[in-house]
Amino acid sequence: MNMTWRWYGQDNDQVTLDHIRQIPGVMGIVWSLHHKVAGEVWKMEEIQETADQITAKGFSTAVVESVNVHDDIKIGLPSRDHYIDIYIDTIRKLSQVGVKVICYNFMPIFDWTRTELYKELPDGSNALFYEKAAIQDNPRDMVERILQGAGSFTMPGWEPERLARLDELFAAYEGVTEEKLFENLKYFLQRLMPVCEEVDIRMAIHPDDPAWPIFGLPRIIRSRDTIRRFLDMVDSPYSGLTFCTGSLGTNPENDLPAMIREFHERIYFAHIRNVKVFDNGDFIEVSHRGRDGSVDIAEVVKAYHENGYTGYVRPDHGRHLWGEEKNCRPGYGLYDRALGVMYLLGVWDSLENVRMHSST
């Protein structure tokens, strides 16, 4: 597997490329133009500048996360073709700097959702937390609470300028059912696939997080059955998955290793992280070590190893350690993700050693 690291750019990430170079095994940077809003044109000079920063430090630029999808595409408005044309233009430009995978999502209004950004754990670290009952409250009240606790950072899809239009967005999504969202996703991908095949870039959809509908909005990439429907809907090798164990792991009914074994040929990007799920449906993000949470991380890595996975992997969200939450983007501190890299590679290397010894 190809180990990567998500980086928010030299102007808005406290973790530098020089920090990342000191983490053994990290070969590529997962990047984006994070100041771009959905539907905005990506300029070639900005793409090239960021790619040059990455390659100058010896990293691959193969994975971009995310090129966000405009709401008009998700809703299915007549204006969607205009925004799909812009998306296609971005794909073509990204192919010129070595991009091979684009991670995106199709979640209405909100991206991944948490109710507390720095919830303290028993060991004194803190992490992203989801209180299921709180999501039943008025979404605007919850949004304001989250933004107040975020400091200078925001979660993806929770940008203040976007959330200022919350009432307008909810009105626009009225009548968008699960079936309609699937139809609109199919339309989007059918437009993209000829271009992706031409420039050799794979689209890797991220699952819904958490893996169930929230605020009455449909969420359609959340289980084995919905993923199978998605893959069969546009059966192209250029349409596949970002398989996120943290997102899908919020629902204990999802058998993650079995899903990896079933879908491995269409998994182009893997987010590996751990969550501890409580009986009442709450969950909190914990260390990558499998025993600390509800996700059997060792078995997850084993499922990839058994199938000879050569795609891209990154440690996903980590805890905030040793006081770094004071200036840390929620979920994206340095220390716990670096520990996660070493844990994941340690499991992989152990499996490799067993395989080599068994063949001699």
Confirm whether 316 is a catalytic residue.
yes
Query: Which listed residue (72, 244, 312, 336) is catalytic?
Result: 244
CA distance 123 to 146: 23
Q: Rounded to 5 degrees, what angle do the CA atoms 95, 98, 104 make? A: 65
Confirm whether 206 is a catalytic residue.
yes
Confirm whether 111 is a catalytic residue.
no
Helical (H) or strand (E) element with 241: strand 239-244
Confirm whether 332 is a catalytic residue.
yes
Query: Which listed residue (264, 288, 317, 320) is catalytic?
Result: 317
CA distance 229 to 30: 27
Is the omega angle on the peptide bond into residue 210 within 30 degrees of 0, that is, cis? Answer: yes
Query: Which listed residue (70, 271, 288, 320) is catalytic?
Result: 271
Q: Rounded to 5 degrees, what angle do the CA atoms 197, 32, 67 make? A: 50
Alpha helices in the chain, H assignment, sequence order: 17-21, 44-56, 71-75, 80-95, 139-149, 160-163, 166-172, 178-199, 224-233, 245-248, 256-263, 297-306, 335-358
Query: Which listed residue (71, 72, 206, 238) is catalytic?
Result: 206
Query: Which listed residue (118, 173, 238, 332) is catalytic?
Result: 332
Confirm whether 85 is a catalytic residue.
no
Diameter over CA atoms, the chain: 64
Active site residues: 206, 244, 271, 316-317, 332
